[in-house]
Amino acid sequence: MTIRTEPMTVNVGPQHPSTHGVFRVRITFDGEDIVEVEPVLGYLHRGTEKLAEERNYVQVVTLTDRLDYTSSMINNQAYCLAVEQLLGIEAPPRGKYLRTLTAELQRIASHLIAVGFFVQELGAFGTPLMYTFRSRERILDLFEMLCGARITVSYMRPGGVFSDTPPDFWPALDQFLADFEGELEEIENLLLSNEILMVRTRGVSPLPRDVAINCSVSGPVLRASGVNWDWRKIAPYDAYDQVDFDVPLGSNGDNYDRFWVRMQEVRQSLRIVRQCIAQIEPGPVRLELPMVLRAEPGAEAYGRVEASKGELGFYLVSDGGVSPYRCKIRSPSLINLTITEHLLLGWKLADMIVSLGSVDINMGEVDR
C-alpha cells in the first residue's frame, strides 16, 4: 500500500515569533524538509530614501536611526561620513574617536541581540537572551548619558558628534567595561561549547566562500565563510587606523561559525573601545559649520562603514540644494537576504528559523 503525501505550503511571517520583525517567507514543506522558498519583502517600507530628499543634510541623521534600529550609531556614522565626503570636510580627532567608540559599543549591543535571539530561536527559553540584554541595557544607558536617547540616538552630525561627553560618562564606561568582562565570560561559558547548540548548528546551512562572494554578502556572514573582508581594515575611516584589532574568520560558513564570529567580534570591539579610551584627547568634537549645509551641484559621495550586519553605504548626490538630490542606501541586511534560498533549501523546518537568525537581518533596514 502506498500512502499519498503532498507538499504543504506555509506562510512563515509576517507575523511569526521569530522572523525578526515582519519578514515573510512562503515555504513549501515536504514533511519537515524545505523544498521551495519564496521570500516576500516590503512590509516595513517607509520610503526613507524619498524622505531624505525632503530634509536638509542634518535632519536626515534622524532618519538613519530608524533603518537598523539595533545599530543606530553605526547608521549615523555611515551617513555622516557620506556627507563629509560630499562637502570635503573631516571631523576633528576627538569627534572621530567618540564616533569610533560609540560605534563599537553599538556593535557590541547589536551582536548581543543577534546572539541572544539566535540562541532563543534554538529553543533556549529566554535565559541567554536575558543575559545578553542585561549587558545591552548598560550600553543603552551609556548612550542615554551621551545624547538622551537609547535607540534612536542621532548622536553623530556631519563634521563630528552632537556634543562632548558629560563628565560622569567616562567613569560609567569604565564601570561597564569592568562588569561586562565577567558578563561576557558567563555568556561564553553558557553558549560557546554547549553540546546541544553544537549539534544543532555545526554543519547546518553552510555558505561556501564562492557563493558568499557571488551573492555580495558582507559582514559577519561573509567572514564566517572564511573571507577576510572588513571595511574597518580595508579602508579605515574615523579612528580605525589608530586602533589595533583582529578580524575573526570562520571556516565552514555554517550557523555555528556565524554565531562564533559574532561572539569573537564582541571581544575585538571591546579591544577597540579600550584603545579609544586610552588614546582620546581633549579638543573640539565638532566642526564649526553653517546651520544649513550645501554641497556643490552635481557632487556625489559614497560613505561606507562596516556596520554590525555588513557593509552599510549611503550614496548621496547633490544638486546644490539644502537636501540631497538622491540618497541611496545600501543596507547589508537586504543584500544578505539574497542567500535565503541557498541557506534554507533542503534543510528542515527547525533549521530554517535558526539559519535565518544566524544571518541576523533587521527589517527596518531591509525594507527602508
**Residue 180 binds another protein, judged by CB under 8 A:** no
- For 302, phi then psi, to 5°, come to -125, 110
Nearer to another protein, 52 or 187 (CB): 187
| Alpha-carbon span 334 to 107, nearest angstrom | 18
Q: Which is nearer to another protein, 90 or 186 (CB)?
A: 186
Alpha-carbon span 293 to 85, nearest angstrom: 13
Q: At which residue does the C-alpha cell 530554517 appear? A: 352
**What is the rounded distance in angstroms from the CA atom of residue 77 to the CA atom of residue 162?**
12
DSSP 330: E
Q: Quick one: 127 or 214, whose CB is closer to another protein?
A: 127
> Cβ 178 to another protein, closest distance in Å?
18
Distance CA 57, CA 316 (A): 10
Say how many residues touch another protein, by CB under 8 A.
57
Answer yes or no: are the C-beta atoms of 352 and 32 closer than 8 Å.
no
Rule CB under 8 A: say whether 305 interacts with another protein.
no
162 binds another protein (CB under 8 A): no
Inter-residue contact 344 to 37 (CB < 8 Å): yes
- Mark out the alpha helices in 43-163 (DSSP H runs): 48-52, 60-65, 72-87, 93-121, 127-147
Which residues lie below 8 Å from residue 326, measured CB to CB, with a gap of 6+?
Answer: 49, 53, 315, 316, 317
Interface with another protein, residue 103, by CB under 8 A: no
208, 297, 298, 320: which one binds another protein (CB under 8 A): 208
Q: Could you say which of 145, 151, 198, 235 contacts another protein (CB under 8 A)? A: 198
Spell out the residues 6+ positions from residue 267 whose beta carbon is closer than 8 angstroms to its own.
184
If one asks whether residue 209 binds another protein (CB under 8 A), the answer comes out as no
Smaller CB separation from another protein, 13 or 95: 13
Measured CA angle at 152 (ends 65, 100), to 5 deg:
70
CA distance linking residue 347 with residue 356, whole number of Å: 12
Interface of this chain with another protein, residues 6 to 65, rule: CB under 8 A:
8, 10, 16-18, 32
For another protein, which residue of 46, 54, 88, 130 counts as binding (CB under 8 A)? 130
- Beta-carbon contacts of 82 under 8 Å, excluding residues fewer than 6 positions away, are 301, 302, 303, 313, 314, 315, 316
Nearest residue (CB) to another protein, 155 versus 347: 347
Select from 13, 250, 303, 324 the one that contacts another protein (CB under 8 A).
Answer: 250
**Does residue 294 touch another protein according to CB under 8 A?**
no
Q: Can you tell me which of 196, 213, 235, 292 binds another protein, judged by CB under 8 A? A: 196
Closest CA to 96 of 237, 233, 304: 237
134 near another protein (CB under 8 A): yes
> Interface with another protein includes 182 (CB under 8 A)?
no
In whole angstroms, the minimum distance from the beta carbon of 190 to another protein comes to 8
Provide, rounded to whole angstroms, the least separation between the CB of residue 177 and another protein. 20
Taking contact as CB under 8 A, which single stretch among the options 54-62, 156-164, 245-253, 283-291 is the one that binds another protein?
245-253
Which grid cell is 25?
Answer: 517567507
**All cell numbers assigned to 17:** 515569533
The yes or no reply on residue 353 touching another protein (CB under 8 A) is yes
Amino acid at 186: E
- 3-state DSSP call for residue 68? coil
Task: Decide: is 203 part of the binding site for another protein (CB under 8 A).
Answer: yes
Give 232 or 368: the residue with its C-beta nearer to another protein: 232
CB of 163 vs another protein, minimal distance in Å: 33
Residue 257 interacts with another protein (CB under 8 A): yes or no = yes
| Residues found near another protein in the complex (CB under 8 A) | 8, 10, 16-18, 32, 119-127, 130-131, 134, 190, 194-200, 202-204, 206, 208, 224, 228, 230, 233, 246-252, 254, 256-257, 260-261, 264, 345-353
